[in-house]
Structure 1
């Protein structure tokens, strides 16, 4: 059983099935570590990014940024480690490879902020679905280049009516 909040790698078969989907992160030399998050009946794999851009003020965040990571100081362009909600994918048991290990400081920060991470991911999913349903903001990079576009049929069934 795939556990909520587990850290895993996606397997080669997943990437082979999605090889024509340009927005799914799939560089061969990268480990593709993901955080598993359950939303309704769906299981999402949210990828860790080494260097993500901060969103503009007042915009819904497409990432959870790690503020305590030692890797944060490595970037000269102001990019920092993050969980990238816009590159999340829908997965099943058959898509999962080995368990994953992340930087200790990032793990502690992630663990301490899991409710915030889940809430922000759900907020991003709701925003993404609202954009798809209304046809608004489809030209925004965070929507246009989202990996969620390949799972539209699955995610359209999500119901956020009872979210607070």
Structure 2
């Protein structure tokens, strides 16, 4: 099977950091939650200063601060767990060479720390998201496979994202 797109890169902990930053801080649902939290925070601050009702609004104000703390703590703990898992996965080598290949039917992920490649059919793709340095394809099993921006040796990078989005849209239509 001919590769349509291929990206080879060194897997370092940077990938996990970008993934968790996206999931916990910059994904659209998280941004919407933070905006709502910010609006509630500002409205309560204004009400405390200009309307009075200091004690009633202090509870909501404190709740906003606690929710923000929990969100940031959750992100921090997820990154720490990912660091530990990454060290175990790479046997503390720190760097693994990954070759991600997308053919007309499947994604093939080969890694220097695994004997056998991982094969994922297109029908398993559920989501694609873009971070600063990577394209990340999420599957039905919630696994994420990465293609590094600027590291494409096969295929035109500017055609990659529309191609994957087309596959995902086709999967959504097929499941209805």
TM-score category, normalised to shorter length: under 0.3
Q: Normalising to structure 1: TM-score of the pair?
A: 0.28
Bigger-Rg structure (1/2): 2
Normalized per residue, the structure richer in helix is 2
Q: Which has the higher contact order (CA 8 A, sep 6+)?
A: 2
